[in-house]
């Protein structure tokens, strides 16, 4: 193992340990020994996750005027997955490359001199055993467990946006170009899950299907790439770790003229963070044929009907969260110790601020700090933390480690002049501020 590899491995260990210890991510159903590669998001993790989703929804849906939101049922008519192609190859025996996780029918793979299969995608030679495999998770609806009652947990949020395309046209009368956006759970029976929350069998996606006129696809593709770049800047992902992979033709889906994998340098290697694909009219066409319903768009100006083409920016919530933890993790040597803090933007930070009474055994300080705590919440800034355990230095470290940007301490001077100290997480600088100005201070930072 090289020094660099070890450092990166250490970083992953530190992040996983911090996430578990501080209530971001717990192993699922741990009291029963857990469930492999399933994770629960604890009190801080759920805040962080919700903040990511909220920011995404604001940026990609609410602030725009060409976007329509959707929250579709997770279990859809199984015909959806026949038309989308997800059920095809159901009886194929697949092997999965352990390096890049691409799956192939073993019988189409070439072999090297030692009779190892060679991965056409990355050249890897280690594969899982062949398996009858479909990545969709199956269950039954209703009391009978027979063929007629099989349904599948959706493997992506995308298909609902094609299946509901007609309803959006009929109810909202959108004009091209426009998008349908959805955030929600997806399930894939991954053969090789792992790397903490990077690859799990249950995860959340934030996806857009952006419908366009066919001849505009190249410009629109560039535009969506720029939007994704803006998003990554907005949340504070480490730009030096991001790269763009133009997926070569032989690896793209047959209907896609261009696909870019946005990759992130995770401690366990450079891996796909997000995807951006031009999908042509493949999906609408397939659903139109399979359902017998006309899914064409009517262009009033040109007085013509056609199937719009699609650009699809696809983002994973958990991969964003992991990339964010990696981007925000800081270690700083101080005189006595190594200080760890998470450099989250205040919009993403689980707690926006923390309030401390200098001493827990002085009721007048505790009362004043509690009043401030409730006052800040009343002004609309939350969640915030209250901490009176241990000395103030320890409390600062605890808040640093979970990324709380500001700590306010009520001390003896507060009782005299109604000011408190505000301490900045990154610089550790402190200044005094009037108690009544604290909510405004935070509201300004949150703008
Ligand atoms: P990979 O090649 O890593 O398996 P993919 O190409 O199959 O990913 P897509 O089908 O493009 O992924 O899904 C869109 C996004 O959903 C991905 O960019 C990723 O952010 C997220 N995602 C996909 N599979 C998983 C998973 N098993 N666990 C967590 N997030 C996932």
Shared-domain flag, residues 173 and 258: yes
- Alpha carbon of 126 to ligand 1 centroid (Å): 21
Shared-domain flag, residues 234 and 282: yes
* H or E element in which residue 312 lies: strand 309-316
**Domain contains 334:** no
Shared-domain flag, residues 113 and 262: no
Query: What is the C-alpha to C-alpha distance for residues 78 and 371, in angstroms, rounded to an integer?
Result: 55
pLDDT (tens digit, 9 = 90+) per residue, 287-297? Answer: 999 999 999 99
Radius of gyration of the chain (CA): 25
**Domain contains 331:** no
- Sign of the CA dihedral with 18 first, then 24, 28, and 30 last: positive
Shared-domain flag, residues 61 and 201: yes
Task: Please state, rounded to an integer, the average pLDDT across all residues of the chain.
Answer: 94
Shared-domain flag, residues 369 and 262: no
Q: Is 40 in the pocket of ligand 1 (CB under 6 A)?
A: no
Shared-domain flag, residues 98 and 61: no
Query: What is the C-alpha to C-alpha distance for residues 47 and 62, in angstroms, rounded to an integer?
Result: 20
- Main-chain dihedrals φ then ψ at residue 380, nearest 5 degrees: 105, 5
The CB-side HSE value for 94 (13 A sphere, CA atoms) comes to 20
| Full 3-state SS string of 210-242 | EEECHHHHHHHHHHHHHHHHHHHHHHCCCHHHE
**Domain contains 438:** yes
- DSSP-derived letter for residue 77 is -
Quickly count: other Cβ atoms within 10 Å of residue 130's Cβ: 16
Residues 400/403/406/410 CA torsion (nearest 10 deg):
-50
Average pLDDT of the segment spanning 387-404: 96
Query: What is the C-alpha to C-alpha distance for residues 423 and 432, in angstroms, rounded to an integer?
Result: 9
**Domain contains 379:** yes
- DSSP-derived letter for residue 149 is G
Phi-psi sector, 61: left (phi>0), alpha (psi -120 to 50), beta: alpha
Shared-domain flag, residues 253 and 315: yes
Best residue among 156, 187, 272 to mutate for probing ligand 1's pocket (most ligand atoms within 8 Å of CB) is: 272
Shared-domain flag, residues 226 and 367: no
Query: What is the C-alpha to C-alpha distance for residues 114 and 235, in angstroms, rounded to an integer?
Result: 47
Where is the domain boundary, 100, 134, 168? Answer: 134
Where is the domain boundary, 325, 359, 392? Answer: 325
Average pLDDT of the segment spanning 408-426: 98
Q: Is 275 in the pocket of ligand 1 (CB under 6 A)?
A: yes
Shared-domain flag, residues 237 and 182: yes
Residue 89 has pLDDT above 50, yes or no: no
ω into residue 382 within 30 of 0, thus cis? no
Report the candidate in 159, 158, 139, 136 with the shortest Cα–Cα distance to residue 149: 139
**Domain contains 333:** no
Domain limits for position 96: 91-134
Shared-domain flag, residues 253 and 401: no
* H or E element in which residue 287 lies: helix 282-291
Q: Which atom of ligand 1 is nearest to the CA of 319?
A: 20
Model pLDDT, residue 107: 73
Shared-domain flag, residues 399 and 426: yes
- Main-chain dihedrals φ then ψ at residue 110, nearest 5 degrees: -80, 160
Residue 217 has pLDDT above 70, yes or no: yes
- Main-chain dihedrals φ then ψ at residue 272, nearest 5 degrees: -65, 125
**400: Cβ contacts below 8 Å, ≥ 6 apart:** 339, 340, 341, 342, 425
Q: Is 312 in the pocket of ligand 1 (CB under 6 A)?
A: no
**Domain contains 219:** yes
pLDDT (tens digit, 9 = 90+) per residue, 155-208? Answer: 999 999 999 999 999 999 999 999 999 999 999 988 778 999 999 999 999 999
CATH number of domain containing 217 = 3.30.930.10
Q: Atom 21 of ligand 1 has which residue's CA nearest to it?
A: 316
With contact defined as beta carbons under 8 Å apart, do 151 and 139 qualify? yes
Average pLDDT of the segment spanning 419-443: 98
Best residue among 206, 314, 321 to mutate for probing ligand 1's pocket (most ligand atoms within 8 Å of CB) is: 314
Q: Cα 54 vs. chain centroid, distance in angstroms?
A: 11
ω into residue 383 within 30 of 0, thus cis? yes
- Alpha carbon of 316 to ligand 1 centroid (Å): 7
Q: Is 200 in the pocket of ligand 1 (CB under 6 A)?
A: yes
The CB-side HSE value for 353 (13 A sphere, CA atoms) comes to 28
Shared-domain flag, residues 149 and 265: yes
Residue 3 has pLDDT above 70, yes or no: no
**In the structure encoding, which two tokens stand for residue 283, read together?**
């999906």
Model pLDDT, residue 164: 98
Where is the domain boundary, 310, 325, 340? Answer: 325
- Alpha carbon of 96 to ligand 1 centroid (Å): 15
**In the structure encoding, which two tokens stand for residue 381, read together?**
């800034």
Model pLDDT, residue 4: 63
Q: Is 316 in the pocket of ligand 1 (CB under 6 A)?
A: yes
Model pLDDT, residue 91: 46
- Sign of the CA dihedral with 122 first, then 126, 130, and 131 last: negative
**Domain contains 314:** yes
Residue 45 has pLDDT above 70, yes or no: yes
Question: How many domains does the chain contain in total?
Answer: 3
CATH number of domain containing 425 = 3.40.50.800
**Domain contains 178:** yes
Residue 269 has pLDDT above 90, yes or no: yes
């Amino acid at each position: 193992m090289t020094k660099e590899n070890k450092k990166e491995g250490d970083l992953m260990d530190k992040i996983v340990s911090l996430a578990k210890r501080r209530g971001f991510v717990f192993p699922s159903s741990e009291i029963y020994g857990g469930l492999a590669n399933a994770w629960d998001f604890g009190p801080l993790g759920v805040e962080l996750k919700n903040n990511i989703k909220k920011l995404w929804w604001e940026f990609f849906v609410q602030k725009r005027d060409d976007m329509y939101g959707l929250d579709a049922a997770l279990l859809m008519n199984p015909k959806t997955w026949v038309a989308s192609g997800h059920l095809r190859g159901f009886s194929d025996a697949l092997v999965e490359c352990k390096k890049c996780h691409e799956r192939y029918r073993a019988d189409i793979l070439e072999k090297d001199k030692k009779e190892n299969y060679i991965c056409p995608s990355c050249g890897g030679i280690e594969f899982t055993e062949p398996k009858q495999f479909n990545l969709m998770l199956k269950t039954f609806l209703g009391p009978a467990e027979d063929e007629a009652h099989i349904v599948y947990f959706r493997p992506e949020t995308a298909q609902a946006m094609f299946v509901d395309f007609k309803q959006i046209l009929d109810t909202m009368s959108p004009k091209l170009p426009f998008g349908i956006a959805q955030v929600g759970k997806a399930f894939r029976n991954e053969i090789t899950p792992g790397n903490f929350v990077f690859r799990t069998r249950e995860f959340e996606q934030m996806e857009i299907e952006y419908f366009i006129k066919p001849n505009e696809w190249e410009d629109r593709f560039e535009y969506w790439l720029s939007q994704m770049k803006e998003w990554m800047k907005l949340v504070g992902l480490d730009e030096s770790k991001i790269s763009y992979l133009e997926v070569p033709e032989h690896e793209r889906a047959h209907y896609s003229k261009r696909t870019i994998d946005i990759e992130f340098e995770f401690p366990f290697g450079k891996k796909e963070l997000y995807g951006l694909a031009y999908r042509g009219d493949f999906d609408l066409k397939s659903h139109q044929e399979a359902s017998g319903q006309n899914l064409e768009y009517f262009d009033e100006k040109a007085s013509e009907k056609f199937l719009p083409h699609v650009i699809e920016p696809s983002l994973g919530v958990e991969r964003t969260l992991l990339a964010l933890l990696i981007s925000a993790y800081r270690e700083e040597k101080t005189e006595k110790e190594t200080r760890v803090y998470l450099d989250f933007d205040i919009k993403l930070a689980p707690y926006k601020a923390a309030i401390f009474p200098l001493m827990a055994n002085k009721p007048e300080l505790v009362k004043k700090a509690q009043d401030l705590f409730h006052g800040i919440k009343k002004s609309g800034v939350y969640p915030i933390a209250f901490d009176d355990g241990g000395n103030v230095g320890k409390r600062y470290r605890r808040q640093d480690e979970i990324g709380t940007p500001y700590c306010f301490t009520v001390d003896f001077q507060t009782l005299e002049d109604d000011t408190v100290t505000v301490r900045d997480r990154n610089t550790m600088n402190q200044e005094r501020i009037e108690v009544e100005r604290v909510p405004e201070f935070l509201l300004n930072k949150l703008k």
